[in-house]
Every structure is written in C-alpha cells, then in structure tokens.
Amino acid sequence: MSPEPNPLGQTPALVIDGNDVLTESVAICRFFEALHPSPPMFGSGARGVAEVDQWIRRVELRLMTSLAMVWAHTHPFTARVVKPQYTEYGESQRPRVVAAMREFDAALAQREWLDGKGYSIADIVLLTTIDFAAFVGVPMPEDATALRDWHARATARPSAQA
C-alpha cells in the first residue's frame, strides 16, 4: 500500500481491515449506515432512500459543480496545482453558485429539512457545501432566509459542533 491511503492523495480515506480503502464522503457514510442503520441517515424505504439520494445529487450537481470551478480557478490555495487557472471562467461560476443557493432556499421554505421527513445525509452534504462556499468567498445571499434558517438549525445540532 502506498504511503497515502487514498491513491489520489486526497481525503477522505477510510482504511478497512488494514488493507481495503474506501474513499469519497458519501460512500464512507453509506458504509457506516450499513453498520449502524439507526437513525436512518439515507432515508427509509424505497421512496425515502430515493428522495435523500435525489437531494444529494442536487447538491452535488446544482451547487458543488459550479462551486468547484470557483475554487479551482480563483482561489490562491489551488493556484499551485491547477495550471493554468482560468480566473474569468471561475468568476463566471459565482452567479451559478448563488442561483443554486436560491433554489435550495426555495425548497427549504417549504420544509424543515431537505427531504421533508427529517435530518439526513442530504442536509449534511448541503451543510458542508454551504460552509465550503463561504470559505471560498461565496456566502449565502442575505435574502435567502429559509436557507439561512436551515443553516442555523443544522449548525446548532451537536453533531455539527463536533
């Protein structure tokens, strides 16, 4: 095994049984959910699981894809590994990130948590993405009150304090 558990040299990486390596956050969370199914963070029943997966994909595709381009092409931390950086392209993605945040704001105006049933891994994925966006320099819009209220609820949870 190489010195880095993840062959891509990135985190996260979970070493299982001393040799096998599982990477990617949601995959690792699914592994732990299979070992400890209560409470069900990935939903219950076929429809519940599908709804949580739907929201995870919306965060990944609608929000994180554009945010990743802002990060890769505009942030000084990535300048040494992303060559060349296309700053104009990265900056052009900021409005897309904000638009996606507004989509989540609209959805959360109708429910307490993303899937409408309870706190789930979809909320965790959105929370980490929103927090990463703030780090990158794309904060939540001031008028996105439902998203901001949701963020306050999510960050008040003991698990978010850990």
Residues 31, 54, single domain; the answer is no
Residues of the chain with pLDDT under 70: 1-3, 8
Residues 74, 141, single domain; the answer is yes
Residues 76, 11, single domain; the answer is no
- What's the domain range around 110? 45-161
* Angle, vertex CA 105, rays to CA 100 and CA 110, nearest 5: 135
Model confidence, pTM: 0.91
Residues 62, 26, single domain; the answer is no
Per-residue pLDDT of 5-41, as tens digits, reads: 777 677 888 999 888 888 889 999 999 999 999 999 9
Contact yes or no for 114/107 (Cβ under 8 A): yes
Number of compact structural domains in the chain: 2
Residues 144, 123, single domain; the answer is yes
Residues in CB range of 112: below 8 A, 6 or more apart: 150, 153
pLDDT of residue 133: 98
